[in-house]
Amino acid sequence: GQQVMQIPQYQHVQEGEDFTTYCNSSTTLSNIQWYKQRPGGHPVFLIQLVKSGEVKKQKRLTFQFGEAKKNSSLHITATQTTDVGTYFCAGNYGGSQGNLIFGKGTKLSVKP
Amino acid sequence: EAGVAQSPRYKIIEKRQSVAFWCNPISGHATLYWYQQILGQGPKLLIQFQNNGVVDDSQLPKDRFSAERLKGVDSTLKIQPAKLEDSAVYLCASRHTGGNVYGYTFGSGTRLTVV
């Protein structure tokens, strides 16, 4: 069935270091969304990528969608303690009426 | 705008008991979802509503789970009878259909513990 794989499961970094999480699907996605969940909180929408090869930036966060629309990545430059949380990618296979299939997430911890 | 409201925040029940969760989505959001998030995992879709109709309930364990959205606004999710493996956070999310708003807005969730 449709499945979204996400790696790594955990990432521990020193404040100021960069961080990247990767997402992969075996089948082509309509679009992909990224969410952040703080400890004890709920997922919060960050961004949606739709086009093949799309790159979007939000301050220190860079999101990429692969050319084949099967993989995506989130890169954080110079992490801060406020970046702590779990980052989820969520793939949509069904267009505007589709629902999201979430990856297992990458839990980021940042050491000050 | 007000967010997605869920209640209760926490619930502890014994196995084989029943439980119900309530969700009030953002006003005007036609699409509503219930997700189950087990500790350490990503949210898993249980059911998707478009207004008061079910779009996808393929992953809802229908022998024990039921959900309704009778007037196309509020929704309830029920578990009867509960099992130990139902312990999880139940998240409700809503989404505006159309326009440029694509992301789901999640509620704070209901943390269910089955003992």
Q: Which residue of B has its CA nearest to A47?
A: B103
The predicted pLDDT at position A62 comes to 98
* Closest chain B C-alpha to A47 CA, distance in angstroms: 7
* Closest chain B C-alpha to A41 CA, distance in angstroms: 7
The predicted pLDDT at position A97 comes to 66
Stronger pLDDT, B102 or A48, i.e. the higher one:
A48
- Contact across the interface for A99 and B103, Cβ inside 8 Å: no
- Contact across the interface for B104 and A100, Cβ inside 8 Å: yes
Least reliable range by pLDDT among A24-33, A80-89, B50-59, B92-101: B92-101
Give the nearest partner residue to B104 out of A45, A101, A104, using CB atoms: A45
Q: CB-based contact (8 Å) between A105 and chain B?
A: yes
Alpha-carbon separation of residue A96 from A9, A32, A99 (angstroms)? 29, 12, 8
pLDDT in tens, A43-98: 999 999 999 999 999 999 999 999 999 999 999 999 999 999 999 999 998 766 67
Residue A93: is it exposed, middle or buried by C-beta count within 10 angstroms (0-12/13-18/19+)? middle
